[in-house]
Amino acid sequence: MNKKILILGVIIVGITVTIFTSFSTPSETVNLDMGRTHGTISTSMGSPILGNPSAPITIVEFGDYQCHQCNNWYHNTKPSISHDYIETGKINLVFMDLAFLGNDSPKAAQASYCAEDQGLYWDYHDLLYNSQEPEIDGGWANSERLKAFAFSLGLDMDLFDGCLDSGKYSKRVQYNIQQAHKHGVKGTPGFFIVGPDGQQQIGGAQPFSVFKQILDPVI
Amino acid sequence: MTQAIKLVFSHSTYLAISFVIFASMLVGLLLLSEYIFLEPYVVSHLPPGTEFGLFLIVILSALSALVIPMNIFRISVLKSSKQKMNGSIFGSVIGSIAGACSCGPIGFALISTFGSIGATTTAFLTNYETPIRVVAIAVLTVTYFTTVKSLKIECKINS
């Protein structure tokens, strides 16, 4: 009798563990709204939304983690936009990859989505821009360094390594690049300010004053 | 040295050529390096840490505007050899393309058109932008001094 109870217990525990594991294993559908669009841009494969998801205006940024001008914009313009518009809930931001500058660019973009699997997309995104070095493909964003960044954020390294090494998000990054081509983005960073009345394209790492002049009248 | 400059730029044609070269190079390089934007508004922008890049662009444009008209003068007026002209053009072109091929439209077009070769070229020109510009400035400086020397001899200018 006790033996039967023991076997039954093991089976129940086994089934419970299997069910729990299958639900907690991240899949590509995590954090993805497959129908998400902003204006004419399909952002379903882009980053999670930064800021208030129901904000009436969205900045869609096309960028490359190895691009110096993207880094300029990240450090010189984005903080003011975050402070004045994103943190106040007036607008939100979506990052899309136009990873074209070197061999390490697509891998860095894929790594950001591997971090998203564990709920740390924006932390990883920030870490990449804060760690950017001047040389394109100089090794600062190679696979080893990308894994080291993940480790420094305390991510589960088995999950992260498996994700990055398998190229799980390769097609996702390619899809984002296709969206950039489709919308005539000819360099990074490139922006679309999408509001209820349409969308406006801005090219380059333009200063905060330009974004303010466009955003203020439509908010 | 100043006599050679006076000799060339006393002609309004060479002064005009110089102005056109300086203005077009300066505006072109400032646009490509994203120090100024034309759309959606005309705006200038000097991000922290990019001051030295701006300095190099101004020096490069000024040297090109000085050296190229002097060599045009040598060739057209004095019928001299075109050898030094090549040096000035080389310095200007190399210095200009160094900053053009980054993540902007030219780099993007280069990579889109030529694939991995374009990507390698873009990466090289971006990674070594500052050293290439410094070398271009050095080439233009050497060309300037040799041009002045030639003008002194060819025009029999007393120093």
Across the interface, of A70, A134, A210, the residue whose CB is closest to B103 is A70
Averaged confidence pLDDT in chain A: 89
- Interface contact flag, B104 A69, Cβ < 8 Å: yes
Residue A8, pLDDT > 50, answer yes
Which residue of chain B has the CA closest to A65? B103
Residue B150 falls inside a structural domain: yes
Sign of CA dihedral A104, A105, A106, A112: positive
- Find residue B130's DSSP bridge partners: none
DSSP A26: -
Residue B83 falls inside a structural domain: yes
Instruction: Decide: A45 and A32 in contact? Cβ < 8 Å.
Output: yes
Q: How many domains does chain B have?
A: 1
Instruction: Decide: B40 and A210 in contact? Cβ < 8 Å.
Output: yes
Instruction: Decide: A64 and A106 in contact? Cβ < 8 Å.
Output: no
Chain B hits for A203, Cβ within 8 Å: 37, 39, 105
A57's CB contacts (< 8 A; 6+ apart) are A85, A90, A91, A92, A193, A194, A195, A215, A218, A219
Residue B15 falls inside a structural domain: yes
Round to whole Å and give the CA distance between A62 and A190: 5
Reported ipTM: the value is 0.82
Residue B93 falls inside a structural domain: yes
Across the interface, of A103, A136, A210, the residue whose CB is closest to B127 is A136
Mean pLDDT of A11-19: 52
Chain A hits for B122, Cβ within 8 Å: 101, 136
**What is the structure's pLDDT at A138?**
92
Chain A hits for B103, Cβ within 8 Å: 64, 67-70, 101, 187-189
Which residue of chain A has the CA closest to B39? A202
Across the interface, of A136, A189, A206, the residue whose CB is closest to B123 is A136
Sign of CA dihedral A40, A46, A50, A52: positive
pLDDT in tens, A158-167: 999 999 999 9
Tens-digit pLDDT profile for chain B (159 aa)? 678 888 889 889 999 999 999 999 999 999 999 999 998 999 999 999 899 999 999 999 999 999 999 989 888 877 766 666 777 788 888 877 776 767 888 888 888 888 888 888 888 888 888 999 999 999 999 999 988 888 888 776 555
Of all residues in chain A, what percent carry a pLDDT higher than 70? 85
Residue B120 falls inside a structural domain: yes
**What is the structure's pLDDT at A27?**
34
Q: Does A137 touch chain B (CB under 8 A)?
A: yes
pTM of the complete model: 0.83
Round to whole Å and give the CA distance between A129 and A119: 18
Instruction: Decide: A44 and A36 in contact? Cβ < 8 Å.
Output: yes
Chain A hits for B37, Cβ within 8 Å: 203-204, 206, 210
Confidence of residue A12 (pLDDT cuts 50, 70, 90): low
Residue B148 falls inside a structural domain: yes
b/e per residue A152-163 (b: at least 16 CB within 10 A): eeebeeeebbeb
User: How many CA atoms are closer than 13 Å to the CA of A45, on its beta-carbon side?
Assistant: 20
- Interface contact flag, B43 A210, Cβ < 8 Å: yes
Confidence of residue A172 (pLDDT cuts 50, 70, 90): very high
pLDDT in tens, A128-156: 999 999 999 999 999 999 999 999 999 99
Residue B124 falls inside a structural domain: yes
Round to whole Å and give the CA distance between B118 and B145: 35
Residue B159 falls inside a structural domain: no
- Interface contact flag, B43 A209, Cβ < 8 Å: yes
Range of the domain at B97: 2-154
Q: Does A69 touch chain B (CB under 8 A)?
A: yes
Chain A hits for B119, Cβ within 8 Å: 100-103
Structure token digits, residue B30 = 């400032």
Sign of CA dihedral A194, A199, A204, A205: negative
Chain B hits for A202, Cβ within 8 Å: 39-40
For chain A, domains (ranges, CATH) are 30-218 (3.40.30.10)
- Interface contact flag, B45 A207, Cβ < 8 Å: yes
Residue A121, pLDDT > 90, answer yes
Confidence of residue A54 (pLDDT cuts 50, 70, 90): very high
Q: Does A205 touch chain B (CB under 8 A)?
A: yes
Round to whole Å and give the CA distance between B86 and B82: 7
Sign of CA dihedral A35, A37, A43, A47: negative
Tell the burial category of A101 from Cβ atoms under 10 Å away from its Cβ (0-12, 13-18, 19+): buried
Residue A173, pLDDT > 50, answer yes
Mean pLDDT of A14-29: 42
CA distances from B43 to A146, A211, B34, B39 (A): 36, 12, 10, 8
Which residue of chain B has the CA closest to A205? B34
Relative orientation angle of helices B12-32 and B83-100, to the nearest 10 degrees: 30
